[in-house]
Amino acid sequence: MNEKIITFLNSGLLEKYLLGEISSEETEHVESYIARHPEVENAYNTLQFNLELVAKSNAVEAPKSILNNILEVLDEKPVISLNATKKYKKWHKIGIAASIAASIFAGQSYYLHSKNEKLSDENQVVVDEIFDLRSDIEMNNKRLDDIMHQFKQLNDPETYKYIMQGNSRAKNLKTVAYINAKDKTSMIDVVSLPQLPKEQCYQIWAELQGEMVSLGILSETDRQLRALPYTEDALGLNITIEPKGGNTIASLENSVAKIQLK
């Protein structure tokens, strides 16, 4: 790899291009490098894969009913149509006519009051739905920030990738650990875990000098990129089969996968 390509890869333009944070002139510059240099194209594909991995692990399906409910309520016209007042024949006695007029007025008043209450309730529904949407937007913005943070961690040159594959006890087990000793961060992506009996679980450990420190329980239902406690001076990682709920001491005789750390 020549010095020109190395300088380009270290410039950060490729990451900014993928996130859409560069000018049109820089975009042309980046795309020409991707087209002309296989090394740059390979780096770009790796960045894309890492971004998709982070986005997929944080993906949350938005509720489908919220927008429909708001549109339905807003589509209703808050206009009350009143029928034209009917003409009545003159009554011989003023008292009877007054009573009928009062009854009609009371009926219309009750009708208007009921419609106003219904409209008030519907308006409150709209307010509540909008409030929920704002909360969802704030939550999604926070999740997006977390995704971008994870993406940058994955693509940090100081982040090392370790693939852990199962032994004969768990042949289909596969997890990927990402460890950055400089920032003191570690993450794990659970790719696949063979099913265990209900009374057992997988537990991951950090290996120190003569000691095993628990980093948590791994679950097939929790297949996403997630943080692991960072352990200073860890020599390796080990996954064991333990009783349901985890153990305080690693059952090394039930080890199913392990790696040495750099």
Half-sphere exposure of 218 (CA within 13 A, CB side): 33
215 sits in the region (left: phi over 0; alpha: psi -120 to 50; else beta) called alpha
Identify the band that residue 103 occupies on the pLDDT scale cut at 50, 70 and 90: low
- The pLDDT tens digits of the residues spanning 122-172 come to 667 766 777 677 777 777 777 777 777 777 778 888 899 999 999 998 999
The bridge status of strand 255-260 relative to strand 159-165 is unpaired
User: What gap in Å lies between CA 107 and CA 2, rounded to an integer?
Assistant: 89
- pLDDT of 62 reads 52
pTM of the predicted protein model: 0.56
User: What gap in Å lies between CA 98 and CA 90, rounded to an integer?
Assistant: 11
When mean pLDDT is compared across 2-6, 160-164, 216-220, the lowest value belongs to: 2-6
- pLDDT of 3 reads 83
Residue 91: strand, helix, or coil: coil
Asked if residues 64 and 38 have their Cβ atoms less than 8 Å apart, the reply is: no
User: What gap in Å lies between CA 123 and CA 166, rounded to an integer?
Assistant: 57
Identify the band that residue 51 occupies on the pLDDT scale cut at 50, 70 and 90: confident
- pLDDT of 84 reads 42
| Measured torsion, CA atoms of residues 191, 192, 193, 195, in degrees rounded to the nearest 10 | 150
What mean pLDDT is reported for the chain? 78
- pLDDT of 86 reads 40
- The pLDDT tens digits of the residues spanning 79-101 come to 444 444 444 333 334 444 455 55
User: What gap in Å lies between CA 255 and CA 170, rounded to an integer?
Assistant: 9
